Amino acid sequence: MKSLALLKRYDWQKLQQFCTEVFIRAGVDKNHANTVADSLIQADLRGVDSHGVVRTAIYLERIERNMMNPFAEPEIEMEQGPTVLLNGNNNFGAVVGSKALDIALEKAKEQGIAVVGVKESNHFGTGAFYALKAIEKNMILLLMSNASQTMPPTGGKRPFIGTNPLAVGVPAGKELPFVLDMATSVVARGKIIVAAQKGSDIPLGWAIDKDGNPTTDADAALQGSVLPVGGPKGYAISMFIDILAGVLTGAGYGKYVNNMYENWNEPQNVGHFFIAIDIERFMPLDLFKERMDRYIQEIKAEPKADGVNEILIPGEIEHRLVIERKKTGLELPEKVENELEAIGRRYSLKLSDALIDSCYSNQKKEAVN
Amino acid sequence: MKSLALLKRYDWQKLQQFCTEVFIRAGVDKNHANTVADSLIQADLRGVDSHGVVRTAIYLERIERNMMNPFAEPEIEMEQGPTVLLNGNNNFGAVVGSKALDIALEKAKEQGIAVVGVKESNHFGTGAFYALKAIEKNMILLLMSNASQTMPPTGGKRPFIGTNPLAVGVPAGKELPFVLDMATSVVARGKIIVAAQKGSDIPLGWAIDKDGNPTTDADAALQGSVLPVGGPKGYAISMFIDILAGVLTGAGYGKYVNNMYENWNEPQNVGHFFIAIDIERFMPLDLFKERMDRYIQEIKAEPKADGVNEILIPGEIEHRLVIERKKTGLELPEKVENELEAIGRRYSLKLSDALIDSCYSNQKKEAVN
């Protein structure tokens, strides 16, 4: 294990402050800047580094090249009882998603259930970000978003649907809450990139090559497409998410959801679909939490297969990572560090100010010696 | 291919009539008898034979042994705006589910969205049965049910969660509607039974043996458990269905959902969760249908992988089977035929009256010759 003193590790709060300041100096409203930075740091803390501060650079570029509009507030287009259609007006996905969540939670408290369909949004970060906020308010959240094309339909050979994520948040009592946040692909594309870098094979069933043939070659897979989880089942789940979040809301769907990294002519037009449910319409909250605790305790007490230390519930690993990373700090890949340092220089901010004190002081000591 | 004349094939309407009559003579109210028979025949027509008339015998036995109460009407226990808690009062799952669907569709028309949580129900047949009825009314339906224990949690070695199904129905315009109806297992247990009968291996990942080890041996798999689809993802989906349909409604969950075939001391206490959404709260119905048609047409027009004839949307295969089976009749396994004949004798009904005319007359001719 590497010694902590030799690693550069960032304090999550200082790093969030750095990102917030970057967005503010890029012209973003303070509250919105804070929401976006919060969403990025929460992802890093939970171990979903692909959705963390690594995205700062692309978000800034989308703003600078007028592909995203941080100044236009999301607007309600239709509203009646428990149903709302929200136009994101092409603001940050995290800003639009947070607005949709607030509306959904408020309406669900009032009406028992609420649905907020969202169009003209952008990549909204992790679903867990919203699920956890709903849990804090003792509400159940079902959340979907579509995404740009990455997976073929079953039988197809090129990407048509996105790895459209599904998230569910449910509060418990003494036990950890249930937090599901999954892409509808077999694995994250990142895992295939790692295999390619190591020169190792990938399991059959993860991906197809550019001609639509199953492949174990990581390079061929990267030229091709990652597959939906569980074959036709994942294809169908990804498709209904696209229908609810895209077709029904008026957002893009299929090829009309634009790729954030590749399309510099048009906004992404991502769609989301938030359903919030008030537990107390079914039973008293305390009773529900007791039942959740019992359910979770019973699952965790199940006999384990050989070599398994513990049965986990969705969100448990991430919860532990948050505790650990808040203590030990966040480690950033060199590429991300360099990007953030360069961004910092443009806005007269020093990334190194976000290093955790012990690292910083050890480094200073080393420099002095 | 076997000649049609030599096969005994049943006319779907006559077979439905036979089943309806059986239930009526067993004391079931005419409307309820019709609902249950409708649900069984629709499953057979769609090729989901495991949920078809094969279930007639077990349903009758559950009634006769007082494990199911066909006389108690489902009752609304809580109702406020768009949220309803329905107590199935242990009637047939299809009766309770149909009542829940009616309420959900009516409320959603009024409120824009509605949720009906259901407790004290029984196995409710296929999810597609309800999804298709919602589609007829131009509504979107999301539907979940829990089920008795069949799958281990990830890392476990024995069944804890059910293959809790998820169904989604969405109307289209000229194209076929989107009808997803999936169990949260990798495959139906029936496929493992078929492999065991043939003495062939099953793919790794379908099941574990009784000690929780991955197995390709079909017999060992039958002693063990079928696995959730996509590993931890299917486990998490099955779990949130159990939470919404079971923990939240007050129905059974985990081990408290009783097995219809094995537990003769208590009702099943299955839970369901119906969410209906009115499309017109988001856009005009015609526009939505146009967008659905375009979406489906674009997916179906995608370039196909080698050896693939057609890209299908969820529900398409089943739709074709319905057309075919309505024409050619339903074929029943000998075991099911014998069971139904025996049931018929008890109630002075002849199963052979449900044979399609051509078969019947051919058989008569053969008998004459």
- Mean pLDDT, consecutive 10-residue stretches, chain B (369 aa), reads 64 98 97 98 95 95 96 97 98 98 98 98 97 98 97 96 97 98 91 88 92 93 94 97 98 97 96 98 98 98 95 98 97 94 97 82 48
Which residues of chain B make contact with A283, given a CB cutoff of 8 A? 248, 250
C-alpha to C-alpha distance for B281 and A248, rounded to whole angstroms = 10
**Best of B76, B181, B184, B239 to disrupt the A interface by mutation (most A CBs within 10 Å)?**
B239
Residue in A with minimal Cα distance to B211: A305
pLDDT score, position A189: 81
Which residues of chain A make contact with B292, given a CB cutoff of 8 A? 243, 247
pLDDT score, position A3: 47
Residue B210 dihedral angles phi and psi, to the nearest 5°: -70, -15
Structurally, at CATH architecture level, domain A72-185+228-315 sits in: 2-Layer Sandwich (3.30)
| Least CB–CB distance from A282: residue in B249, B278, B310 | B249
Which residues of chain B make contact with A279, given a CB cutoff of 8 A? 248
Residue in B with minimal Cα distance to A309: B155
| Least CB–CB distance from A168: residue in B156, B240, B298 | B240
Amino acid type, A298: E
Within 8 A by CB and 6+ apart from A213, the residues are B305, B306
- For chain B, give the mean pLDDT: 94
Class at the top of the CATH hierarchy for domain A1-64+330-360: mainly alpha
Closest residue by Cα to residue B170 from B313, B12, B50, B55: B313
C-alpha to C-alpha distance for A94 and A91, rounded to whole angstroms = 8
pTM of the model as a whole: 0.95
Chains A, B: CB contacts under 8 A, how many?
Answer: 235
Which residues of chain A make contact with B160, given a CB cutoff of 8 A? 298-299, 302
pLDDT score, position B206: 93
| Least CB–CB distance from B295: residue in A236, A253, A277 | A253
Q: Report the 10 Å Cβ neighbour count for B358.
A: 14
- pLDDT tens digits for range B292-346: 999 999 999 999 999 999 999 999 999 999 999 999 999 999 999 999 999 999 9
Cβ A39 vs Cβ A26: under 8 Å: no
- Parts of chain A with a pLDDT under 70: 1-6, 358-369
pLDDT score, position A7: 72
C-alpha to C-alpha distance for A52 and A68, rounded to whole angstroms = 18
* Cβ–Cβ gap A243/B170 under 8 Å: yes
Cβ A326 vs Cβ A316: under 8 Å: no
How is chain A split into domains, by residue range?
Answer: 1-64+330-360, 72-185+228-315
Which residues of chain B make contact with A83, given a CB cutoff of 8 A? 111-113, 277-278, 281-282
